Amino acid sequence: MPHCANTVDELQRYAPEVAEPADFDEFWRDTLAEAATAPVLVDVRPEPTDLPLLDSWDVTFAGFGGDPVRAWYTRPAGVRQPLPAVVEYAGYGRGRGLPHERLTWPVAGYAHLLMDNRGQAGQY
């Protein structure tokens, strides 16, 4: 179990001083303006599995600087109505793997978007 020297109350009150770079606002203004000029969604392809309880798609969209970001979109098979959704980031210790490796959310009735980290290529 992780150990932390601070109590929960101390952690909730913790507010470090963070120096904002001089060009912070300019950077985000320019970055968002550039991103607005390009399409966000690049590609959505059905990804068949051998599992009859799951519908899945391979999704690619433009991330920072237009770099492709990949994700699996899964949902319960045959469900067409809107569903609550869970967006999960796998982290650098693990990629997104295969669509049938993370069944918890779609079999519980949720739409699930499992994100690869930018630059990880999302290939399996």
Spatial distance between the Cα atoms of 35 and 81, rounded to a whole number of angstroms: 30
In a domain, 1, yes or no: no
Structurally, how many domains does the chain consist of? Answer: 1
Segments forming the whole domain that contains residue 22: 8-115
What pLDDT, in 10s, does the model give residues 37-79?
887 777 899 988 888 899 999 998 888 877 888 899 999 999 9
Spatial distance between the Cα atoms of 72 and 112, rounded to a whole number of angstroms: 8
Q: State the pLDDT confidence band at 110, using cuts at 50, 70 and 90.
A: very high
**pTM, whole model, 2 decimals?**
0.70
What pLDDT, in 10s, does the model give residues 70-94?
899 999 999 999 999 999 988 777 7
- Look up residue 28 and give its DSSP letter: H
Spatial distance between the Cα atoms of 78 and 51, rounded to a whole number of angstroms: 12
Residue 121's pLDDT is what? 53
In a domain, 38, yes or no: yes
User: Mean pLDDT across the stretch 104-113?
Assistant: 95
In the predicted model, what is the mean pLDDT of the chain? 86
Residue 109's pLDDT is what? 96
In a domain, 124, yes or no: no
In a domain, 64, yes or no: yes
Give just the sign of the alpha carbon dihedral 42, 46, 47, 51.
Answer: positive
User: Mean pLDDT across the stretch 8-29?
Assistant: 94
In a domain, 122, yes or no: no
Q: Name the token pair of 103.
A: 């069944």
